[in-house]
Amino acid sequence: MGGQAGLYAKPFDNSSQTNESHPPEVAKPKNKNITSGDGKLCVAYSDVNQVCIAASNYPLLQYLLLFDLSTITSHTCYFTGYAVGRETSWHLPAVHIPLVLSGKRIDPRRWLYKFSLHFYKYRYPFLREAELYALDNAFASPLIGRRPYSLLSDGPLCLTNNMQPHSTEYIKQLRKRHSLSGLIERMLFGPVSVGSLGNNSQCVRIYMTERNESFVLQGKSLHVQSLQELWDTSCEEKREFVKKVFGITDTDVAKLNSKRMIFLTQPIVKDCGLSEQEYVGLLRRIFGNYDTSQLLIKLHPRDNFDYSSHFPDIAVYSKTVNMQLLALLGVAFERAITICSSSVGSFSANTEVDWYGPDIHPQIKAFFGEATPPVKNVNTPTLRDL
């Protein structure tokens, strides 16, 4: 997550960017168009009929695959940030919001941050009229306001894992909704601010990449289509555009396919509060079960832990790219290893899955709760004694 320094810094807004190679005849008055950072795309405010709000790469990928090339390049404005890097936003007509909220609800800087986003509907008037497609957490609620919207997925089985009566996320939402600060936040910013992942009356449609089970699905229009199906029905030009957005090259695919095993990380230190020493100790006990010369560490987009300094002999792939997209491009492994990343569900049935589960540490268990593996047949190895 972003640091506190520079909390009030102006967001990276592609609408103010220019590029010398961009044809001069498309220039618009200031604040009347959104231009991609690379100058390749320019969308007039009046042409924006859809808005994609994505705080991570998974819903962004889903949105890009859901709609045709004209819609995603000429009629959509993107509000990105958090786990979506600037290098990704650079290729889109996007407003990049680089910083996230403090975890403390009473922190006045958090409220000021949300207020600044609340007024975006005046700076970007299409937020009041265009169809909204959003992952409704992080910075999304002030942008959504009290308008109806369609929920994008935050990953495989996201609702199954997070929106159950016993789930950690749902319990956290309940506590927030019944707190004083939650009541004030709801009055100021609407129900989404205290009920994300579709847990509110404003969410009218839910887009999923596989079937989920959750009470939030009741009464909503449901759309289920796998990423593989969306990819297979996309034209070649759109596929190339998606690869460009996420910065994937043939060299990346070759590097990934050079190893037989992959370890999919999560922001464990950042989210679960483990110390660096505790996390490294866990990893040593996991990696001790494998031939590390054939192992590749694939970073989660929000994970900034320095694996190379602690495991210099293990290859690390650090591009903030969805494992799901890499799998669509033909990246495959004999074995996928994780603590409890749902991304292991991206691989074919030929890939062995080693699922250590959140029970390996009480703080991981407290954060993730009962995380359900996204595939039926998984191995549940034990940590190696060192």
User: What's at 288, amino acid-wise?
Assistant: G
The answer to the question of residue 272 being in a domain is yes
Q: Residue 331 contacts by C-beta under 8 Å, 6 or more apart in sequence?
A: 253, 256, 257
114 and 215 inside one domain: yes
The answer to the question of residue 238 being in a domain is no
Copy the structure tokens of residue 45: 């405010």
The answer to the question of residue 374 being in a domain is no
Model pLDDT, residue 357: 94
148 and 256 inside one domain: no
Give the residue among 206, 201, 200, 193 at the shortest CA–CA distance from 160.
206
* Single pTM value for the model: 0.82
Tracing tokens 């975890």 back to the chain, one arrives at: 103
The answer to the question of residue 237 being in a domain is no
List helix spans (H) across the chain: 57-66, 69-74, 86-89, 108-118, 120-123, 140-144, 158-162, 168-177, 180-189, 227-232, 236-245, 250-256, 268-272, 276-287, 307-310, 323-328, 362-368
Give 338's strand partners.
264, 355
188 and 323 inside one domain: no
pLDDT tens for the 386 residues of the chain, in order: 333 333 333 444 554 444 433 434 434 345 589 999 999 999 999 999 999 999 999 999 999 999 999 999 999 999 998 889 899 999 999 999 866 554 555 567 777 888 889 899 999 999 999 999 999 987 899 999 999 999 999 988 899 988 999 888 999 999 999 999 889 889 988 999 999 999 999 999 999 999 999 999 999 999 999 999 999 999 999 999 999 999 999 999 998 999 999 999 999 998 999 999 999 999 999 999 999 999 999 998 889 899 999 999 999 998 888 889 999 999 999 999 999 998 898 888 899 999 999 999 999 998 888 888 888 789 999 999 87
The answer to the question of residue 328 being in a domain is yes
Model pLDDT, residue 3: 38
Burial class (CB in 10 A: 0-12, 13-18, 19+), 128: exposed
Burial class (CB in 10 A: 0-12, 13-18, 19+), 277: exposed
Contact 346, 373 (CB under 8 A): no
168 and 272 inside one domain: no
Model pLDDT, residue 111: 76
CATH number (domain holding residue 342) = 3.40.50.11110
219 and 253 inside one domain: no
Copy the structure tokens of residue 7: 């909390």
Contact 246, 238 (CB under 8 A): no
21 and 150 inside one domain: yes
Model pLDDT, residue 128: 96
Q: Sort strands 203-208 and 221-224 into parallel, antiparallel or unpaired.
A: parallel
For 331, the domain range is 249-368
Q: Sort strands 261-264 and 221-224 into parallel, antiparallel or unpaired.
A: unpaired
Give the residue among 272, 232, 265 at the shortest CA–CA distance from 356.
265
Q: Residue 119 contacts by C-beta under 8 Å, 6 or more apart in sequence?
A: none
172 and 295 inside one domain: no
The answer to the question of residue 242 being in a domain is no
Model pLDDT, residue 106: 59
Helix (H) or strand (E) holding 329: none
The answer to the question of residue 2 being in a domain is no
Number of domains in the chain: 2
User: What are phi and psi for residue 317, nearest 5 degrees?
Assistant: -110, 115
d(CA 340, CA 357): 5
- HSE (CB half, 13 Å, CA atoms) of 137? 18
106 and 136 inside one domain: yes
The answer to the question of residue 382 being in a domain is no
- 179-203 residues labelled b (16+ CB within 10 A) or e (exposed): eeebeebbeebbbbbbbbbbbbebb
Model pLDDT, residue 66: 98
Q: Residue 24 contacts by C-beta under 8 Å, 6 or more apart in sequence?
A: none
Model pLDDT, residue 377: 84
User: What's at 28, amino acid-wise?
Assistant: K
184 and 268 inside one domain: no
Model pLDDT, residue 98: 67
What secondary structure does DSSP assign to 134-195, as a single string?
Answer: E--STTHHHHHTTS-EEEPPSSTTHHHHHSSTT-HHHHHHHHHHTSHHHHHHHHHH-GGGG-
Helix (H) or strand (E) holding 26: none
**DSSP three-state, residue 25:** helix
d(CA 354, CA 247): 28
34 and 109 inside one domain: yes
218 and 114 inside one domain: yes
163 and 282 inside one domain: no
